[in-house]
A and B are shown apart, each in its own frame.
Chain A
Amino acid sequence: MSSLSSTGPDATRGGSGRTPRALTRRELFSLGRTEEEGHWIRIHRAAMACRFEVLLDGADEAHVPAAREALDEADRLEAALSVFRETSELSRVNRTAAEMPAPVDADLFALLALCRDLHARTAGAFDITSTPLSRCWGFLRREGRLPTREAIEAARACVGMSAVLFDDDSRTVRFRRSGMELNLGSIGKGYALDRMAALMRARGAAHALISAGGSSAVALGGRGAGWTVDLRSRQVARGRLARLRLRDGALATSGAGEQFFEVDGRRYGHVIDPRTGWPASGVLSVSVVTAEGALSDALSTAFLVGGLDVARRYCASYPQTLALLTPEGGRTGPVVLGAFAGAQVEEA
């Protein structure tokens, strides 16, 4: 009864002759819930063709304005990074870099350099130049179709991170061949989440779960064992694959269960292996946890493409990487590789 023992400024007195005490905000909010229960505040907006959301505990409602500012940041980054915006900085680079070295601002240059490094670290499984392949398979317009071998080979000729020349001193990038283009689709959301998390942290928010499209999430803080996140894949199971408790870490999930097409009973997913020119296969779902949203995003795609081999080698070489892979057929639960200090895995 201690939480209810008197009269607040907004409350009407019950009974009479008792000394009133101001009801605290926490007490008011404790109405109808226990410590564990209560309310979520979800602040969300469509950006980068998906839903960006900042999830706050009801107790953190003071950070709603910061969450809105963070969503503005997602809009700003979309305007700068999207290849679907002709006016974006990246579109400008794509238009000009085959002709001459294209100057790039410091933030974008750092992100592109990370993409270059990840290409090397994942044996080419992560490649931001694979857009011509996605286009040839029809996935850019979400109208998948089986291309001719000639079309695939023609697209492959325009793909390859090794054909992108970086000049760190002048901060420029140049394409070795015309027809090449950069696309941050497999890293941009995670990158935006990192920036949003930094902004919210700078505004004093200690706890928030920031997510995009349900596939990428950055956990700022996390009370107790952390944010509870269920990993799901409709292609694998009706229930959850695993439950994660996440603190100060970034999660990304990739799969080809939502965007695909079928020809003659064979399924072609939307993630193309840049090394072969064909849709990746062998892994149904990948989730990766690292310290950074951009890194997790990129690795989840890389591991979907590169499979258990690439994932094993990466996790062995780079600490603070946790990966859960569900291979096609075989065992039911995901294969768990590596570890991340802020993440606990509970099996389904």
Chain B
Amino acid sequence: MNLTPEQESLGRRNFLKALAGTPALAALGVAAATRGPMRGGRVKVAWLGVGGQGRALLTRMDPAYVDVRALCDINPTSLAKADEVLAKNKQPPATHYADWKDMLAKEDIEGVVMAPPLWAHADIACGLMEAGKHVLCEKMMAWDVPSCERMLETAHKTGKVLEIGYQRFYNPIYQAAYEGIVKAGQLGEMYHARLVWHRNGNWRRKGEPPSKDYDPSPWGYPDFEHLLNWRLYWRYSKGLLAELASHQVNIANWFFGAVPEAVQGTGGVYRFKDGREVQDHVYATFEYPQGRTATFSAIESNAFENYYEMYMGTKGTLIMRAETDALFYPEGDAAHATAVEVAAKTSGGAALDASESKPASQTSTGPAPASGGGESAERGIASRNEVSRWAAAIRTGAPLLCGPEKAIHSARACIVANEALQKNERLKV
């Protein structure tokens, strides 16, 4: 990444970062896909797999759209934490299940929001749809390509709504960047996108089993460690390419209006040799038609660049940073002089803070943000929209913004990328 404009915009980045954490912005979430009561009433749902990501969705969901009747997880600790989320959001308690088939037999539900480990996606999602339930399945779509295809076929066959949880599609900043920059042709011809997701830390999670005699082996996990850290083992996971790259490849497909034709990669377990199987450093090159290339890197040894997607066109550069802001730099003489930013409005905030003149080094004239923290409001809004739009799709046939037809392409590309990386070959997608 060319760091000069990056460094120049440090102040702006800090501003937007802080803005994203303000309580005023969090209120944006109320303005989800639609307002007011939904025709046909709330969708009766269950939440399946209430680990970190499942609970994140549960935290962000809008109760005007979904009525959470049941919670399903094989880990009682996760269920207890999900109870707390419901209570905190002033929602009535939901019935607990360990086995989703047991839940199906007993609960009157229309749909399921599911976020179990990747290897379980296809069997559960297809089982639910076969049983007449609509499904919102956390990304990546499934563990292998045949499983993805099975999910897509089952969705078509049953006519049930299947959405895959790529929240960027439901993030207003991505929609605005696509409409205003990409689709409007402001990037010119695009030949390269850089997808970066850099972190500095061990992916391994720490946690105590729910009880001393807790035995997850009936569910396919030899011990609690394998359940807790399923992302680190090939049997359950597709590693960084599935957990991180698939988000960004999915957007590259959208912005390029195409899907990868071939991929090559390299990587390995270089830093955390602690018995994990999936790499802690991954580099992949995705080849698109018409000479377009997206490179992806995920490293677990340096977080300076954090995560972003940079689209480089003949007329300009678009940077989508950390799901919270969009920056645009036109090419040409004033290449880095003019910046176009898309930023969420703060509710009740002013369009401009006017005061006596400030020198150019004080970059923003936008309203001074409260010093923030906490999770990005945009991500919260995106997840909330995602669940609400899925509910709206069930009630009215409203369009999904991603859908399995798109999600399968990014899944396939990332699955093949893993193979390419392991075989050290260039593979057709």
Contacts and interface: CB of A to CB of B under 8 A. Distances in A.
Interface of A: 1, 3-8, 11-18, 20, 23, 25, 28-29, 31-34, 36-46, 49-51, 53, 55, 58, 61, 64, 68, 71-72, 75, 189, 209, 211-217, 227-234, 240, 243-244, 251, 253-258, 285, 287
B358 interface: yes
A227 B334 contact: no
23 contacts: A4-B392, A4-B398, A12-B406, A13-B399, A14-B393, A16-B159, A18-B397, A32-B28, A33-B345, A34-B30, A36-B345, A39-B343, A40-B344, A42-B366, A43-B340, A58-B180, A61-B176, A71-B338, A209-B352, A213-B357, A213-B365, A228-B351, A254-B356
Contacts of A230: 350, 352-354, 367
A3 B365 CA distance: 34
B216 to A, nearest CB: 34
B173 interface: yes
Contact of A243 (B32, B179, B350, B403): B350
Contacts of B87: none
A39 B355 contact: no
B344 A43 contact: no
B284 interface: no
- How many B residues touch the partner, as a band? 35 or more
A239 B342 CA distance: 26
Contacts of B404: 12
A287 B352 CA distance: 14
B192 interface: no
A55 B351 contact: yes
Nearest to A11: B399
A299 B103 CA distance: 73
B98 interface: no
B400 A12 contact: yes
Given A72-B334, A213-B358, 20 more contacts: A4-B389, A4-B398, A4-B399, A7-B397, A15-B159, A23-B399, A32-B31, A37-B28, A39-B343, A50-B358, A50-B360, A213-B360, A213-B365, A214-B352, A215-B354, A215-B355, A227-B352, A228-B350, A230-B367, A231-B354
Nearest to B340: A43
Interface string B372-397: 00000000011011000110111111
Contacts of A285: 355-356
Contact of A29 (B32, B38, B179): B179
B340 A42 contact: yes
A31 B168 CA distance: 12
A41 B342 contact: yes
